[in-house]
Amino acid sequence: MKERGRILQNGIPGEGPVAYWMNRDQRVEDNWALLEAQKYALLNKKPLLVVFCLTPHFLSASYRAYHFMLHGLHEVRQGLLGLNIPFILLEQEAPLSLPNLIKKIDVSALFTDFSPLRIKKEWVEQIKKDIAIPFYEIDAHNIVPCWEASTKKEYSARTFRPRILKKVPDFLTPIPSLIRHPYNETLALKTAAPLEMLTKYHYPQKTLPLYGGKAGYTAGMECLQKFIKKKLRVYKELRNDPTNNVLSQLSPFLHFGQIAPQRVAIVIKKHGENHESIRDSVDSFLEELIVRRELADNFCFYTPSYDCFEGFPQWAQKTLDEHRWDPRKFTYTLEELEHGKTHDQLWNACQLDILFHGKLHSWLRMYWAKKILEWSKSPEEAMKAAIYLNDCYEIDGRDPNGYAGIAWSIGGVHDRAWPERQIFGKIRYMNDSGAKRKFHVKQYIESITSNPIGQL
Ligand SMILES: Cc1cc2nc3c(=O)[nH]c(=O)nc-3n(C[C@H](O)[C@H](O)[C@H](O)COP(=O)(O)OP(=O)(O)OC[C@H]3O[C@@H](n4cnc5c(N)ncnc54)[C@H](O)[C@@H]3O)c2cc1C
């Protein structure tokens, strides 16, 4: 089998259980990091436990994101209990209190999943300093581990596609199941249940929860089945039409790792093999799920400043600098943007869609971010505003896909130079005439303004 993990630190194993620090991949099923931790524990005849570190503030996440995540973790805890694997929820200064726990119960080896984001990298470095046991990282979020897919920052999907597609057959393999763990860990530790945490902390209260609390592995797999049954057939043809939303709606489940991209790819591919007539739609969906999604991880992994102007390619920085002082016909404050109070009806509807529903259609996300560039005093300000709004309100925000998508829209990342114009320079421009050619703009606006279900 191909290696999906790497050693973060060698060390001297403790005498106690093996621990999996669950972070980005919040599921029991199809989780390579948990599977590897169990393999190690079985080999060494050790108990196994899972630790989740809860921080009441995470980037700009609001209550809606915590609500979705904690419901998913509730299901994780139940699933682990049935497999004789304790689930520990660490609070206080989590995850920096993880080394204390490791020492207290003499953990023999630590496993974690992979994230290319700065915050996780910093946590890993801090924890490495404070522990002396073996520490492993497994990429359970990408089909091809990020460092295997490419060893450098890729210029675009065109350069990344052939590299990753060459490796996909080696990694898109059947996923084994966990077994009921045969070695017991009797913890003298009292640990809280995820749903208790919903009321314990005061999370940023900007939004109502979404999906009626329907989060977690079961809800994610139901969403996948619904997509296959009702929308996949027309995915390629209608994917750019927000009034006919045929997208999978899987991104919240994928973002929190409640379902595995590898499982989604296996199920979709199998369905395509059995239904030749929808082959184009299957290929189009797998391009998004595998190539575009893993390209976003590649961007964040190899670009320390993935959320800043400095993360843009040189040509984009140059052209934006040349147009830095171009007059702006409209500028808006963050508050005006946040409440959808601009002159542009379509943009306001997009922003209300984000506020009410926590998820904007793919095509509209590009339009939404590009207008923020057009109406901000500088590209830096535009990046800051777009990232804040995306991370705070989008249920799938705080994700490499979001940072790459915003950097694509505002800073030409993974794109090429286009004919030059005011403010944008050579960054690709979008306007509402383009939107009108693609879909019924008025119908979209009405569907949002007449159906508000969230609140500020
Ligand atoms: C400005 C901007 C902001 C974005 N912010 C986010 C974000 O915060 N979180 C997020 O997950 N995606 C983000 N995207 C990417 C994309 O818009 C979403 O992944 C998609 O809308 C999710 O809906 P879906 O699952 O129904 O999509 P589907 O079309 O059904 O796609 C299935 C999966 O493929 C992946 N995918 C689809 N499109 C892209 C893409 N362009 N880049 C990378 N992966 C993709 C996602 O994991 C998605 O869940 C952003 C794009 C832009 C332009």
Per-residue pLDDT tens over the stretch 269-321 = 999 999 989 999 999 999 999 999 999 999 999 999 999 999 999 999 999 99
The CB-side HSE value for 191 (13 A sphere, CA atoms) comes to: 20
What are residue 110's DSSP bridge partners?
A: 19, 135
In terms of CATH, what superfamily is 1-141? HUPs (3.40.50.620)
Ligand 1 pocket by Cβ (under 6 Å): 247-251, 254-255, 288-289, 292-293, 296, 362, 365-366, 369, 390, 394, 396-397, 399, 401-402, 405-406, 408-409
What are residue 21's DSSP bridge partners?
A: 51, 112
- Residue linked to tokens 């902390």: 201
End-to-end CA separation in angstroms for the chain: 49
Provide the CA 35 distance to its chain's centre, in angstroms.
Answer: 21
Joined together, the tokens standing for residue 238 give 């209608």
Asked if the interface predicted TM-score (ipTM) of this complex is over 0.90, the answer is yes
Q: Contact at 8 Å (CB) between 118 and 301?
A: no
Q: How confident is the model over 422-444, as a mean pLDDT?
A: 94
* pLDDT beyond 70 at 206: no
CA of 101 to the centre of ligand 1 (A): 36
pLDDT of residue 190: 72
Q: Which has more pLDDT, 38 or 212?
A: 38
pLDDT of residue 184: 84
Q: pLDDT tens digits for 183-193?
A: 987 766 678 89
CA of 363 to the centre of ligand 1 (A): 9
Going by C-beta distance under 8 Å and a sequence separation of 6 or more, which residues neighbour residue 166? Answer: none
* pLDDT beyond 90 at 133: yes
**Alpha-carbon span 56 to 197, nearest angstrom:** 9
pLDDT of residue 398: 97
The verdict on whether omega for the bond into residue 95 sits within 30 degrees of 0, i.e. cis, is: yes
pLDDT of residue 192: 84
- CA angle at residue 327 from 324 to 330, to 5 degrees? 110
Q: pLDDT tens digits for 370-408?
A: 999 999 999 999 999 999 999 999 999 999 999 999 999
Among 189, 166, 171, residue whose Cα is nearest residue 100: 189
Q: pLDDT tens digits for 102-116?
A: 999 999 999 999 999
Under CATH, what is the fold of the domain 309-449? DNA Cyclobutane Dipyrimidine Photolyase, subunit A; domain 3 (1.10.579)
Residue nearest to ligand 1 atom 2, measured at CA: 405
CA of 404 to the centre of ligand 1 (A): 10
**Alpha-carbon span 348 to 135, nearest angstrom:** 47
Least confident residue range of 155-169, 351-365, 371-385: 351-365
Residue nearest to ligand 1 atom 30, measured at CA: 248
Cα–Cα separations (whole angstroms), residue 357 to 4, 125, 403: 35, 36, 20
CA of 119 to the centre of ligand 1 (A): 21
Q: How confident is the model over 107-126, as a mean pLDDT?
A: 97
Question: Which atom in ligand 1 lies closest to the alpha carbon of residue 397?
Answer: 8
Listed in sequence order, the DSSP H helices in 323-378 are 334-338, 345-357, 362-374
Ligand 1, pocket-test mutation among 154, 239, 251, 374, most atoms within 8 A of CB: 251
* pLDDT beyond 90 at 356: no
pLDDT of residue 455: 42
Q: How confident is the model over 156-164, as a mean pLDDT?
A: 98
**Alpha-carbon span 296 to 314, nearest angstrom:** 18
* pLDDT beyond 60 at 197: yes
Among 405, 389, 373, 403, residue whose Cα is nearest residue 308: 403
Confidence category of residue 43, pLDDT binned at 50, 70, 90: very high
Going by C-beta distance under 8 Å and a sequence separation of 6 or more, which residues neighbour residue 303? Answer: 153, 311
Q: Which has more pLDDT, 453 or 236?
A: 236
Question: In the predicted model, what is the mean pLDDT of the chain?
Answer: 94
Joined together, the tokens standing for residue 258 give 């409640």
**Alpha-carbon span 282 to 341, nearest angstrom:** 39
Q: Can you give the residue ranges of every domain in the chain?
A: 1-141, 142-175+215-302, 309-449
Same fold, 1-141 and 309-449: no
Residue nearest to ligand 1 atom 51, measured at CA: 405
> What share of the chain in percent tops pLDDT 90?
86
SS (H, E, C) 280-330: HHHHHHHHHHHHHHHHHHHHHHHCCCCCCHHHCCHHHHHHHHHCCCCCCCC
123, with CB counted inside 10 A (0-12, 13-18, 19+), is buried
In terms of average pLDDT, the best of 51-60, 241-250, 378-387 is 378-387
Q: How confident is the model over 236-244, as a mean pLDDT?
A: 94
Under CATH, what is the fold of the domain 142-175+215-302? 1.25.40
* pLDDT beyond 70 at 453: no
Residue nearest to ligand 1 atom 19, measured at CA: 251
Residue nearest to ligand 1 atom 52, measured at CA: 405
**Alpha-carbon span 427 to 419, nearest angstrom:** 8
Q: Please report which helix (H) or strand (E) contains residue 257, including its range.
A: none
pLDDT of residue 452: 62
Joined together, the tokens standing for residue 72 give 């998913």
**Alpha-carbon span 259 to 223, nearest angstrom:** 10
Q: How confident is the model over 19-24, as a mean pLDDT?
A: 97
Q: How confident is the model over 136-153, as a mean pLDDT?
A: 98
Question: Which atom in ligand 1 lies closest to the alpha carbon of residue 250?
Answer: 25
**Alpha-carbon span 379 to 279, nearest angstrom:** 40
> What share of the chain in percent tops pLDDT 70?
95
Joined together, the tokens standing for residue 37 give 């931790």
* pLDDT beyond 60 at 450: yes
Question: Which atom in ligand 1 lies closest to the alpha carbon of residue 368?
Answer: 1
Confidence category of residue 456, pLDDT binned at 50, 70, 90: very low
* pLDDT beyond 60 at 211: no
